[in-house]
Amino acid sequence: MALTPEQERLWRAELENLSIAQVRSDLERDKIQSAYVHLTSQWLAEKDREAETRDQASRLEQTEIARAAAAEATRASEAAEKASVAADRQAIAAERQATAAERANRRATTALVIAIISITVSAIGIWMPYWDVHK
């Protein structure tokens, strides 16, 4: 017995109200009238294709998200590497500056000692004649 378009439309509407699992179970247990079996099988096949299409789209989206995340991680890694190299260079420059500062400090200390000795020698040179005269 062939179904009319109206009967097909009503049956599809009824199938849409049921869960796919329920329809599949009813079909496997022969609870669906023989006139509707073919239409029900077609409807289930459509639902399976729709589910596969959704799953595939979801997998593609997840793949794109993973690719974007991997690319971003690569960029972040490269930036971190550059920052590390820059930090190493700055550390080397800071060590050189510290060494130069230590040398300058030693030179300044030496100059200060020489200045103190010079002041002392000059003071002695000034006071010696004074003491000789006033003896």
Residue 110 CB burial class (10 angstroms; 0-12, 13-18, ≥19): exposed
Per-residue pLDDT tens digits for 116-128: 999 999 999 888 8
Q: Which two tokens stand for residue 1?
A: 């017995």
Per-residue pLDDT tens digits for 53-85: 999 999 999 999 999 999 999 999 999 999 999
Domain boundaries, the chain: 5-107
Cβ atoms of 15 and 36 within 8 Å: the answer is no
- % pLDDT > 90, the chain: 87
